[in-house]
Amino acid sequence: MPRPLFRWFCGLLLLSQITLCHAEDAELARLFREAGASGTLLIEAAESGQRYVHNATRAAQPFTAASTFKVLNSLIGLQQGVVSGPEAVFRWDGTHYEMPDWNRDQTLASAFRLSCVWCYQQLARRVGAAVYPAYIREARFGQLREPFVVDQFWLDGSLTVSAEQQVAFLKRVALRELPYRTQSYAALESIMLAEQTPQYRLFAKTGWSARATPGTGWYMGYVKSERDTWLFALNIDTRSADDLPRRQSIVHAALMAKGILPSPSR
């Protein structure tokens, strides 16, 4: 094949691959319309690389990490030895919070499940500011603006991450490609487990940043089944806490629509 023609062919092939990777998924778009939500959802198979995306432009846009950082923060805390495992205890200092369930001692497992901010602020202070930049760069978890406040940076906008970056990070976590101990990964999966059936296990974390208007609601995680491991990351605009249930409902509907989770009729 003549070289100019070969280059044209390669360019056309690359363009078609890019278009396929970022093609709007009509089924996902319909779910967002029905929910009255503005945002993005990216779903990707870890092994085959098959992808479904709604709003690819937004999927590449960084937003405040909020509580989605608790996934990496838990791994860092476990790896550093500042928490020993799911039953590690955080002592409540008596401060009263708007979330009643936070107003008591917590374990790492309950802190993750309840998205307990003060617990992970304790963890962050134990880890120390000097430790975080290297871990975040290694995990390629978004962008960290320095200098930062050690117990605020994932809440105040210093740490931002896109849905694309969330999925890439989750793939490294699910496939255990980052250099953490086996015990650290096992503890993380123990606290991330949100649903389990004989057919699949779903590991997930919510997040909500409400310091700007609109706020940003996150839902990210992965599904392990016999067929593959499916990674997902959603973020949507939020006006109030009333919008938060849409995070899980859209993702669950999307995973069922794509046959990743069984539908109720199956």
Task: Give the active site residues.
Answer: 67
Helix (H) or strand (E) holding 51: strand 51-54
Question: Residue 199, SS3?
Answer: coil
Can you say whether the dihedral through the CA atoms of 152, 155, 158, 159 is positive or negative? Answer: positive
A 10 A CB-CB count for 108 gives: 27
- Angle among Cα 60, 61, 66 to the nearest 5 degrees reads 115
d(CA 62, CA 78) in angstroms, rounded, equals: 26
- Is residue 139 a contact partner of residue 72, using CB atoms and an 8 Å limit? yes
Give me the residues paired with residue 39 across strands.
Answer: 236
A 10 A CB-CB count for 263 gives: 10
Secondary structure letter of residue 260 according to DSSP: S
